[in-house]
Structure 1
Amino acid sequence: MKTRTFLQSIAVGVALAAGATSAPAQGSAPYPSRPVKLVVPFPAGSATDLAARVIAQQLGTALGQGFVVDNKPGAGGSIAAMDVIRSAPDGYTLFFSSNSALASNVALLKTMPYDPLKELTPVAGVGETTLALMVKTDHPAKNIDEFVNYLKERPGKINAGFGSSTSQISIANLNRLANVNALPVPYKGIPLAVNDVLAGTVDFTFVDLGNSLAQVKGGKMRALGVTSPKRSSLAPDWPALAETMPGFDVTAWFAIAGPAGMPQDVVQKLNAATTEALRKPEVKDKLAGIGLQPMPMPAAQLKTFMADEVTKWKRMAKEANIQPE
């Protein structure tokens, strides 16, 4: 009896020892130990998509795993955001978005299926950019003054495509500050609005700077001005719309977030790798080609920044008399 009890004790001890050594082994693999998905709320070819691919390549090299871009456009970014929010908060599904789905949609959508400040974990700031007011090269207006007169002569008859909250509020600001009445037409992404401007379906749109530069270089479109309060160093010959319409100030930004509850060590690892990538001259050059200037930001600062942006966009939407839809 004593022998049996002694052997049982040894067996229990061996089992406990095995558990003690095997349990940490299951969770000891450093992050990331498998590919990471970057969910993008806009279609391929958009500024968000292009920036995501630049950063994905850098993170993959720095962290030794593949970072795969997964485009999920639609519903103003809500489809992509919900995909991330519903995923496990382990850092293997991340959200690479512009301000649209991270802040400004709160002011523009009547019903938000999620709260970006409560259901997402801010990870890292990436970049910021401006937009440009774009028309076809054969448009009769050669500058912003001629364009405003063109709109005033055709009240309620000119269509403007928008594919993001930033382009939507840019149209609203143009209407308000120039006292015109262009009719906004929604698209799932800016590239789709550009296509319809080129096809003549809509008359103009506001395009992220990178795509604007590409369209002008290709000779298909003309830029009449940028939405930032000052001219962009990436397109110094393009006037700021604020030069003729004081108060015109709309900029876009890009950041990485994850589902709520992400481990802080994973957040810090991703933030450090992103920040380091943004310091590289070759990355700065690639982002400049997309029209972005680096916006590195610690995760805690990004959290405050996002909250401030929600407040800012609510104010801008109210000033532009935009009714949430």
Structure 2
Amino acid sequence: MKRIQFIKSSLFAVGASLLTSLACAQNFPDRPITLVVPNPPGGLVDTSARLLSEPLARVIGQPVVVDNKPGASGNTAYQYVAKAKPDGYTLLISYSGYHVANPALMDKLQWDPIKDFSPIGLLTVSTNVIAVHPSVPVNNLKELIAYAKANPGKLNYASQGNGSVSHIGTEIFKQSTGVDMVHVPYKGSGPAILDVLAGQVQVFITTPPSVMQHVQSGKLKGLAVTGKSRHPGMPNVPTTTEAGLASFQLEAWVALYAPAGTPGPIITKLTDSVKTSLALPEVKERGDSAGIELRYLNPQAMDALLKKELPYWNKAIKSANITLD
């Protein structure tokens, strides 16, 4: 009898939980949604969040607030969202450099890249640009490699922080070309680009939003883009393949995640709303002008991408002996 009562109680509890989740999903959202960004303002990640926030607010019917929480190589934001209430109101704007690299870079990570987050969808992707200050006496990628080899340790390179795509990518670039450059990490693209423009740091491999306008104006030299095709905002900048370094390609992505345990109906509502928002013509225009490619993937496809990239970046980081020191 007690066992039957226990089973009935358990079934009742499960049913009540499901009804509560459905009720929450039906009313969702009834207050502002926060997009937590692991970087300071400026650059690919923050720009992607702001590309999404305004149209998503219109589509979903509630304000969407961008909350920049930089620090600890992205871990401040990731830990914050991982521990947030899984109700759909606190979401993570995830950067590939943190999501797939930090697990390989840190032994005691306070969040799990798969278990602690539920994917909502891929938002944007971006190639990278190899840019240098005009004071560097080179005009193409081959000349940069030759100059760096002839002057080991003379050039400094900027990154958005330890473990970022710009950090890992530049270290892979160093390994593949045999050059020696000194790493200067920053807390995001915004602070980094200021020192690059001032010539205090000479090299920056980063996404187009950080450097495109400066390459266009001549304040920086764009030597190559690290994708398979030229960037429409910088049509005169060759690809690494065209510049003679076909082995080096680098792409970053930004995706939207909720805390693990967020009810399925809420994930579906967010996913559908994000897909609709990214499909708006004005959002594509804004993305093009910022040098960012909108590329939506649903939660299942995003999950598959993450699980594919985690071992790839782990191997790249270990083989290049990249550390956070």
Answer yes or no: is the 8 Å Cα contact 2:29–2:62 preserved in 1: yes
Report the residue type matching 1:219 in the other structure: G
- Which residue does the alignment assign to 1:319? 319
- Which residue does the alignment assign to 1:206? 205
Distance in 1, Cα, partners of 2:76 & 2:21: 36
Distance in 2, Cα, partners of 1:311 & 1:27: 37
Give the number of equivalent residue pairs. 303
Specify the SS of the correspondent of 2:196.
helix
Q: 1:231-258 CA deviation, whole Å, 9 max, x = no partner?
A: 3344332112234123102100011001
- Which residue does the alignment assign to 1:189? 188
Q: Residue 157 of structure 2 is aligned with which of 155, 160, 163?
A: 160
Answer yes or no: is the 8 Å Cα contact 2:117–2:259 preserved in 1: yes
Answer yes or no: is the 8 Å Cα contact 1:268–1:299 preserved in 2: no
Distance in 1, Cα, partners of 2:290 & 2:228: 19
- Which residue does the alignment assign to 1:67? 64
Q: 1:55-80 CA deviation, whole Å, 9 max, x = no partner?
A: 01111000110000000111111001
- Which residue does the alignment assign to 1:13? none
Specify the SS of the correspondent of 2:128.
strand
When structure 1 is superposed on structure 2, of 64-73 and 274-283 the one drifting more is 274-283
TM-score normalised by length of structure 2:
0.87
Report the residue type matching 1:102 in the other structure: H
Pairs within 5 Å for 1:90-239: 90-164=87-161, 165-239=164-238
User: How far did residue 136 of structure 1 move?
Assistant: 1.8
Answer yes or no: is the 8 Å Cα contact 2:138–2:144 preserved in 1: yes
User: How far did residue 52 of structure 1 move?
Assistant: 0.5
Specify the SS of the correspondent of 1:285.
helix
- Which residue does the alignment assign to 1:306? 306
Distance in 2, Cα, partners of 1:135 & 1:293: 23
Answer yes or no: is the 8 Å Cα contact 1:74–1:188 preserved in 2: yes
Which structure 2 residue ranges, 5 or more long, are not aligned? 1-19
Distance in 1, Cα, partners of 2:21 & 2:261: 21
Q: 1:195-224 CA deviation, whole Å, 9 max, x = no partner?
A: 111223222111211222122234321111
TM-score normalised by length of structure 1:
0.87
Specify the SS of the correspondent of 1:185.
strand
Q: Aligned pair in 2 of structure 1 residues 150, 28: CA closer, same or farther (>3 Å)?
A: closer
Specify the SS of the correspondent of 2:297.
coil
Q: 1:115-140 CA deviation, whole Å, 9 max, x = no partner?
A: 11111111111011011111123431
Report the residue type matching 1:260 in the other structure: A
Pairs within 5 Å for 1:1-40: 27=24, 30-40=27-37
Q: 1:20-39 CA deviation, whole Å, 9 max, x = no partner?
A: xxx99985862110001100
Answer yes or no: is the 8 Å Cα contact 2:145–2:179 preserved in 1: yes
The structure whose Rg is larger is 1
Identity among equivalent positions (%) equals 33
Q: Aligned pair in 2 of structure 1 residues 111, 245: CA closer, same or farther (>3 Å)?
A: farther
Q: Aligned pair in 2 of structure 1 residues 107, 230: CA closer, same or farther (>3 Å)?
A: farther
Distance in 2, Cα, partners of 1:134 & 1:152: 17
User: How far did residue 287 of structure 1 move?
Assistant: 1.1
User: How far did residue 185 of structure 1 move?
Assistant: 1.7
Which structure 1 residue ranges, 5 or more long, are not aligned? 1-22
When structure 1 is superposed on structure 2, of 166-175 and 228-237 the one drifting more is 228-237
